[in-house]
Amino acid sequence: MDAKKAAGEKAAEYISDGMRIGLGTGSTVYWTILRIGELVKEGLRIEAVPTSVQTEKLAREAGIPLLPFARLQAPLDLTVDGADEVSPKDELIKGGGGALLREKMIASFSDRFIVVVDHSKCVPELGRFPLPVEVVPFGWEMTSKQLGQMGCEPVLRMKEGAPFVTDNGNYVIDCRFGSIPNAGELTVELNKLPGVVENGLFVNMADLIVVGHSDGTVRTKSGS
């Protein structure tokens, strides 16, 4: 069995009737969304907030009732999302698909945040995966230079020969740090740069990590 499918489907077991949930973005939570769609068809009553245009489309196709984030009166019960790297301290790098800003906003407004990954995402230290940083297009070259001065190699993300544009109309600069020994400090420093909208470090946010393996087994680990 696909390791991503195993993790993604397992996370759907944490969803119960009446919940309002956040739906992450990517190829692992894809399986959670499909499974939730099946459960909805079987009678599960939930409402969901998508973290991207891509997920909104998928959720609609799966028949999941959607709710606008702006209308929430209280935190979501649960958000399920993928990650690009997970450290032993359960710190995450996210944003490989460019959805980091809405993902962070929605996970932050959730009582519980469940992360679904295949085992290859669990690393001894964050930073091999280039850290996505969402920046405003105005003066991105200056922001990129400032990011470089923080000890990384910054690269503007491109798509089909033009800058990749997020759902929020911004650019993404992928920052190759190599090693991120202190994610908590780095996230604060990055967000101090005026051109930065948000960065892909998720620190002290994950409540549960669901790790899928290629033999179809799944291991869960409570967030620290």
Ligand X SMILES: O=C[C@H](O)[C@H](O)[C@H](O)COP(=O)(O)O
User: What residues line the site for ligand X (CB under 6 A)?
Assistant: 24-28, 81-84, 94-100, 103
- Give the nearest distance from C-beta 97 to ligand X in angstroms: 3
Greatest alpha-carbon pair distance for the chain in Å reads 53
What is the rounded CA–CA span in Å between residue 166 and residue 194?
Answer: 18
- Give the nearest distance from C-beta 56 to ligand X in angstroms: 14
Q: Tell me if 131 sits within 8 A of 174, measured CB to CB.
A: yes
17 annotated binding-site participant? no
One-letter amino acid of 125: E
Among residues 35 and 94, whose Cβ is nearest to ligand X?
Answer: 94
32 annotated binding-site participant? no
Question: DSSP 3-state assignment of 220?
Answer: strand
What is the rounded CA–CA span in Å between residue 13 and residue 171?
Answer: 35
Q: Tell me if 25 sits within 8 A of 83, measured CB to CB.
A: no
24 annotated binding-site participant? no
Among residues 11 and 100, whose Cβ is nearest to ligand X?
Answer: 100
Question: Is 61 part of the annotated catalytic residue set?
Answer: no
98 annotated binding-site participant? no
Instruction: Using DSSP bridges, classify how beta strands 78-81 and 20-23 pair: parallel, antiparallel or unpaired.
Output: parallel
Among residues 95 and 130, whose Cβ is nearest to ligand X?
Answer: 95
Q: Count the Cβ atoms, other than its own, within 10 Å of residue 138.
A: 10
Residue nearest to ligand X (CB): 26
Kindly name the residue from 9, 85, 103, 134 that is annotated as catalytic.
Answer: 103
Annotated binding site for substrate: 25-28, 81-84, 94-97, 121
Annotated binding site: 25-28, 81-84, 94-97, 121
Catalytic residue numbers read 103
